[in-house]
Structure 1
Amino acid sequence: MDADGIGWHFSGMTPRPSIPVFTLFGETSAFPDVIHCERVLDRARLHDWVISAHRHRQMSQILQIEAGRAEARVDGRVMVLGPGDWLYIPAQAVHGFVFSQGAEGTVLSFLAPITAGMTPQMSPWLARPQTGRLSDRAAGLIEDMRATHASRGTFRTQRLVGLSHVLLATIAEDTLDGAGPAHPAERHMDALDALIARHLAAGWTARDYAAALHVTTGHLNRIVQAAKGCSLTAHLEAALMAEACRLIAFTRMPLAEIGFRLGFKDPSYFSRRFRRSFGEAPATYRQRIQDS
C-alpha cells in the first residue's frame, strides 16, 4: 500500500521476469496496429480503474489525462497526473496505474520501429520515462492522431508514423526547454546512446563503448543498471534488436541482408537472436506488421 492507502499491485522487490509483459494497455493479445490509440475511460473501467504493474517488450506509450486523476508508478517512481498532464513510458519500463473513477484521456502506443526510426539525437530522451504539461501544439497533434487512427485511407499508416514522430519531438522539446544541467550519470547514458546509434552495426563490444567514454566496463555497466534496470550487454542487445525491428518493418531489404548489416554473418543465427528477443521469427514479424 502507498502512504495514502492506494493499492498498487506492485513490488520493487519482485524480479523482472515475474512482471507480466503486455502488448497493450492491460492486454496480452497481439498488437493490432502499427500505432494504437484508445481512450482511458474505455480501458480503465474494465479493470476497476487499476492497471497492475507490467511492462511492454517492444512498445512505448504516451498517456494524456484530460479529466480526473491518475497515479502512475514507473520503475518505482510515483507520479500524480491531472488534466493537461502527459506521461511517456519507454519500452521495458515497469509501470502501473490507479485512476480516479471516470478519469478520461488518451493512451497512444508505439511499436519499437516507430521510435527506432527517429534521429539518434532523440535516443537519450526516448530511453527514459518523461512527464510534463501538454502544450497547445502537442494537444492538437494528439487530436490529429486520434482522428487519423479512426480513419481509413491508403496512406493511413504513413500519416500515423509521421504524426507520431512530430508528437514525440514536440513533447521532447517542451521538456528540454529550460532544463537544468544533466547529472554525470545521465550525461554518460546520453553519450552511450549516441555512440550506439553511430556504431550499432560495427560490432562494438561493451569494452569498446566503455573505452570510448573513458570509463571502465564495470562502471559503465553500473550506470546502465541504475538507469535502465538491465546490464550493459542487455542494453546493447535491445538497441540492436530495435534497429532490426525498424529495418524489418519499414524496408524491403531481404532478412539475410538486414542481419548482415547488423553484424550477423549467419542468417539463421540472426533469426534465432530475434526470436529470443521477441518470441517470433523475423519473417513472421514482418508479415504481422504488413498485415496491420
Structure 2
Amino acid sequence: MDDVSNNWYFSAMVTAKIPSWQLYGEQSPFPDLIHIETITDRAAGLDWQIAPHRHVHLHQVFLVLSGEVRLTIDGRAQRGVPPLLMNMPRGHVHGFGFAAGTQGYVLTLPAADFPELFRPEAETRAALERPFVAAAGGMEPLFQDIARLHAAPDPLRRLKLRAAALALCCAVAEAGGERPDRSEGDARIARFEELIRAHLADGWQLADYAGALAVSERHLRRLCLAGTGLSAHGFLEATRLREACRLLAYTRMRAQEVGFALGFDDPAYFARAFRRGMGMSASDYRRRLEGDDG
C-alpha cells in the first residue's frame, strides 16, 4: 500500500472528536470469543464509508481480497491495491472508504482474552501493536477457516476458534515484522491497564495509579485521552466493565459477587454502572450469552 501525500476526505479527523467504539462500534455486549464478518456485511449498509474511530479493547485484522480501499491510520491517509492485509491495534484511530462491492473479511477479537498474543512478554505483541498494511499472500484460507468455524454449531467450536485465531494472528505478526519502541504514552497506557486489572478489588483511586506510574494525575489524564480517546476515569471504568463481562461470561459468580470482585462495595451502584455501560442488567447480559447456541 502506498502512502498518499495529502489527506483525503477524512482530513477533518485531526480536529474533530474521535469516537471510541468499545464493542464492535456499538454499545452492546461482546457476544462471542471473536467476531468475523465480510467487508460487505460491515460496510455496505454504511454506504461503504466507516468514519474515523478507535477501539479501546478490541484488535482488528482486515483482509481485502478485491475492490479498493482508502484509509486513514492516526490521521495519515493511505490507499492500496488488493489483495492486502491491514492490522489495526486497539487505541489507533482509523477510518475507511471502500469501493462498492469490495470483498474481504474483518476479524475482531478482544485483546484481553488473548494473553498469548498481547501480554507484555508475548512474542507477537510488538508486531501486533503496530498498525500496518502488508501483502496478503496465503491469508485467505486462514480467514475462511475462521469464518467456517464461527458459523458452525460444533461442540468444540470455541476451542477450534481460539486455535484458528491464534494461528492467523501469528501469521499477521510475521507479516508485520518488528515494531519500533513504543512511545511513552503507549507504554504507560499499557501499564495503566495492567495495573487496573491487578488492583480491581483494591479500591485504588486515580492518584494510586498515577503514583505507581510515577506521573502526576494530570499527566496520566493527558496520556489516557491522547492514547484512548477516553478520560482516565472513563478508561478505568471501561476496563472494569470489560472484566465484569468476562466474569459473567466465564464464571458462575452472581452479579453481586462480580461487583465485589471488581471493587464495587455497593451492589446497587454496580448494577447502575453495568446498565449504564452495557444498556442492560448484568442478569440480562448473562441470559443473553446463555441463550446463544455458540
Q: List alignment gaps of at least 5 residues for structure 2.
A: none
CA distance in 1, matches of 2:28, 2:242: 21
Aligned residue for 1:246, secondary structure, equals helix
Matches within 5 A, 1:64-143: 64-73=63-72, 76-82=75-81, 83-88=83-88, 90=90, 95-110=94-109, 114-119=110-115, 122=118, 130-133=131-134, 140-143=141-144
Separation in structure 2 between the aligned mates of residue 136 and residue 13 of structure 1, nearest angstrom: 36
Q: Which moved more, 1:272-281 or 1:60-69?
A: 60-69
Contact between 1:54 and 1:94, CA under 8 Å: does it hold in 2? yes
- Are the equivalent residues in 1 in contact too, given 2:36–2:108 (CA < 8 A)? yes
CA–CA separation in structure 1 for the residues paired with 2:214 and 2:243: 26
**Would the aligned equivalents of 2:20 and 2:230 in 1 still touch at CA under 8 Å?**
no
**Alpha-carbon distance in structure 2 between the residues aligned to 1:139 and 1:194:** 34
Per-residue CA deviations over 1:73-131 (Å, capped at 9, x if unaligned) read 3564434354222232538x765321123321101234xxx433233982686997733
Look up the match of 1:236: 236
Tell me if the contact between 1:36 and 1:109 (Cα under 8 Å) persists in the aligned partners. Answer: yes
CA distance in 1: counterparts of 2:20 and 2:187, whole angstroms: 31
SS in 1 for 2:201: helix
RMSD: 3.7
Secondary structure (helix, strand or coil) at the match of 2:61 reads strand
Could you say which residue in structure 2 is the equivalent of 1:37? Answer: 36
CA distance in 2, matches of 1:136, 1:154: 31
Answer whether contact 1:134 1:171 (CA < 8 A) is retained. Answer: no
Change (3 A) 1:227 1:211: same
Q: Residues of 2 paired with 1:21 and 1:9: CA distance?
A: 20
Deviation at 1:209? 1.0
Q: Secondary structure at the match of 2:63?
A: strand
Kept in 2, the 8 Å contact 1:71–1:78? The answer is yes
Describe the shift of the 1:100–1:156 C-alpha distance in structure 2 as closer, same or farther (beyond 3 A).
same
3-state SS, counterpart of residue 107 of structure 1: strand
Q: Which residue pairs with 1:145 in the alignment? A: 146
Which whole-Å CA distance do the structure 2 matches of 1:136 and 1:252 have between them? 43
- TM superposition score normalised by structure 1: 0.77
Aligned-partner Cα distance in 2 for 1:276–1:49: 30
- What percent of counterpart residues are identical? 33
Q: Distance between the aligned counterparts of 1:203 and 1:29, measured in 2?
A: 27
Give the AA of the match of 2:156. Answer: F
What is the SS of the residue equivalent to 1:200? coil
Kept in 2, the 8 Å contact 1:10–1:52? The answer is: no
Check if 1:260 corresponds to 2:260.
Answer: yes
Distance 1:201 1:120 in 2: 24
- Counterpart Cα distance in 2 of 1:89 and 1:121: 12
Contact 1:68 1:103 in 2 (8 A): yes
8 Å CA contact 1:123–1:194 kept in 2: the answer is no
* Residues 285, 170 of structure 1: alpha-carbon distance in 2 compared, 3 angstrom cutoff: farther
Between the aligned partners of 1:138 and 1:203, the Cα distance in structure 2 is: 45
Per-residue CA deviations over 1:183-217 (Å, capped at 9, x if unaligned) read: 22222223222222322222211111111111111
Q: CA deviation at 1:272?
A: 0.7
Provide TM-score, normalisation by structure 2.
0.77
Deviating beyond 3 angstroms after TM superposition, the runs of 4 or more aligned structure 1 residues are: 2-16, 19-25, 27-36, 41-48, 51-61, 73-82, 93-96, 123-129, 134-141, 161-175
For residues 193 and 30 of structure 2, what CA distance do their matches in structure 1 show? 27
**2 CA distance for matches of 1:170 and 1:204?**
39
* Contact in 2 for aligned 1:23/1:29 (Cα 8 Å): yes
**Worse overlay, 255-264 or 144-153:** 144-153
Distance in 2 separating the partners of 1:179 and 1:58:
20
